Structure 1
Amino acid sequence: MSTKYVLVALVCLALISFKLQAGCTVVGNSTQNLGSFSSSQIATSTLSTRFSSNFSCSGFVNLLDYSRIDATLVAANFELQNANGDAIPYTLYTDAARSTPFVLNSTKEFGSFNLIDLLGLFGDDGTIPLYFDTAVANVSAGTYSDTIAIFWRWDYCSGIGLLGICIGRDKGSETIIINVQLTVTGSCSIQTTDVSLGSLTYLGNVSSAILPLNINCTKQLSYQYYVDGGDNFANGQRNMVLNAEAIPYVIKTTDGHTAVGPSMAHSIAGLGSGQVQGFQLLVLTIAEDRFPMPGVYRDQVRVIVEF
């Protein structure tokens, strides 16, 4: 009698399902500080930057289901203003290429997604960025701001099941308010030229020349300027020198009455306009009953602006 053995293989069958989930979040109202810039930067160049929209999403959307994210600009003055009414115009964009301005009541459709990683739409902080360019503007120092309101609406597949079937949708809408601001700091610049007092043989005949100054300080910025004592200042007197010889001189306002420098105690006050302001000072030799040694006498002074 033979024995027969029957081998039975058990096969375990399992149905495996999975789900990928995604979600959108509106961070809420915020203040976006773009930084601090000198008035000369704002007056001469465009500031190009970006900031957070406070809207973020995560995960994937379904291959077969229509999904979208829309942003509508519902409020913006397109000017950053300070308390004095000065303004810096700006243009808003939704793309880094700055292809089309984001204007009032316009809607940016971020599109229909097909298995696109939504994180590719977002910046380093996980939110959709907004792009911002200023126009040149002559403004005073201070804090400048504007309020931007954006209505967000989204509708996309938030869960993916077996075979890529959408098992849930994330829908929502909300308006967020962003206060955008930057700081403008005061600045000054000055330009001048070398001065020649001409030729003279006898110091009893006063020689004079105009010292021109071009000062550009921030609009409404108070400042003071003066001329220092020079490289050869001695015994309270400026001097042009040749070897051991010296010819004393003074610097005054053009009326010839008011000394300018050599310290802040003898300075001239000004108020910036944000544009070049031209001034003139008078350089005069001091009358002396003597004949100087022939040659070229020189000194070097510095015009100082404090603000």
Structure 2
Amino acid sequence: MSGLARVVGLFLLCAGTGQAAAACSTGNAKSADFGAVGSVALGAAAQTTSTRDAGIECSGQVLQPWEAQDTYFRVTFSSANAGLLGPTGDLLSYQLYASADRNNGAALIPAVPLDLVGQGVIDALGLLQSASGKAMPLYLAAAGGSNVAAGNYEDTATLAWEWRYCTASSGGGVCSSYDTGSGVTTVPVNLVVQNDCSIAAPDLDFGTAALPSAFAVVNGSISVTCTKGSAYSVGLGDGQNLAAARRNMRSAQGELLAYDLFQGVSGIRWGSVDTERRSSAGADVNPGPGAGVGRQVFNYNAKVYADQAPVPVGRYVDTVLVDIAF
């Protein structure tokens, strides 16, 4: 009797060495939020984000899960809007990846199943090697070089999951039990594009003269590229040495030389408040809303006031702030 008990006990121990219970299930996914991005930054480079939970979680530990026949773990991606859809109908393309390095082999192509086993994603994540349960993350990149209007861009990424892997073997590498399942999860994706501009404002040089009245009028221009569809105005600050409602350049000795900047040939002072500002509709080149590409140009005349007293010899400088208001 005791010998039989020992044989039975040995058999149970051997059968147990191949056991590895595991299970996967789908549920609510976490959203992927790119946050707020200026249009200039979006046009210059791709933006990235991730979600730590794409809606599928696996728990338990699997021993060599892919050695059995007919095992797989794959996901198929579809997009509700074929990209991130904005308020004016602009589409911003983005890409989903199953790996943090966002390599092309791990990219999710719409309607094309991605083999997460063949790409090494499952093993790299340890998705089937966590006793406490582990969620599947996803990584995203919004295309750089995009020219879109400001606003909230949204999409819903639908993920169809399918899996079949060995959860127990009966010895000799023969699988005796599989976890087989499928499910669908949805990941909300959003990105906010903010109004922004790039500004080119070359230095202004009056040259050299003996008297304030001898300085010639200097023509200059400021060019900007602002977000597609944006209406804006351009203001010029009063500089660092405003006195008696005039801009002033200052010498190293503290002497002042009064000058001003005027809107084109109109004679209207170009300032930073109210009617002193210039609207995008009033640009001298390409007037109207921002286009996101190209340049809108605003011309100005710069004059040293002739009615001021002579000033000591020296180098006179000032700095004027250019601001954009939407």
TM range (shorter): 0.7 to 0.9
Structure 1 residue 277: deviation in Å? 2.5
Unaligned runs of 5+ in 2: 281-288
Match of 1:92 in 2: 96
Pair 1:299–1:105, CA change in 2 (3 A): same
C-alpha distance in 2, partners of 1:228/1:46? 34
Equivalent position amino acid for 2:96 in 1:
L
C-alpha distance in 2, partners of 1:143/1:289? 53
In the alignment, which of 226, 233, 244 is matched to residue 224 of structure 1? 233
Preserved CA contact (<8 Å) 1:202 1:289: no
Pair 1:164–1:245, CA change in 2 (3 A): closer
C-alpha distance in 2, partners of 1:287/1:34? 55
Preserved CA contact (<8 Å) 1:21 1:60: yes
Equivalent position amino acid for 1:60 in 2:
V
Structure 1 residue 258: deviation in Å? 1.4
Q: Deviation per CA, 1:100-152: give whole Å up to 9, x if none.
A: 6432321122348xxx9685258x99333334333220122222122222221
In the alignment, which of 309, 313, 326 is matched to residue 295 of structure 1? 313
Pair 1:164–1:101, CA change in 2 (3 A): closer
Aligned-residue CA RMSD (Å) = 3.5
C-alpha distance in 2, partners of 1:261/1:105? 55
C-alpha distance in 1, partners of 2:250/2:76? 72
Preserved CA contact (<8 Å) 2:265 2:300: no
Structure 1 residue 166: deviation in Å? 4.2
Structure 1 residue 274: deviation in Å? 2.2
Match of 1:45 in 2: 45
Equivalent position amino acid for 2:114 in 1:
K
Preserved CA contact (<8 Å) 1:197 1:209: yes
Matches within 5 A, 1:45-124: 45-51=45-51, 52-58=53-59, 59-61=61-63, 62=65, 65-66=68-69, 67-75=71-79, 77-95=81-99, 96-99=102-105, 101-111=107-117, 119-121=125-127
Structure 1 residue 23: deviation in Å? 0.4
Pair 1:89–1:63, CA change in 2 (3 A): closer
Identity of aligned residues (%): 24
Q: Number of aligned residue pairs: give it.
A: 295
Is the aligned partner of 1:127 residue 2:135? Answer: yes
C-alpha distance in 2, partners of 1:189/1:150? 38
Partner of 1:99, secondary structure, is helix
Match of 1:3 in 2: none
Unaligned runs of 5+ in 1: 1-8
Query: Which stretch shows the higher mean deviation, 96-105 or 148-157?
Result: 96-105
Partner of 1:248, secondary structure, is strand
C-alpha distance in 2, partners of 1:21/1:220? 57
Q: Deviation per CA, 1:180-217: give whole Å up to 9, x if none.
A: 21222232332312212234445455621123212233
Preserved CA contact (<8 Å) 1:230 1:299: no
Preserved CA contact (<8 Å) 1:93 1:132: yes
Preserved CA contact (<8 Å) 1:203 1:289: yes
Partner of 1:151, secondary structure, is strand
TM normalised by structure 2 equals 0.75
- Structure with bigger helix share is 2
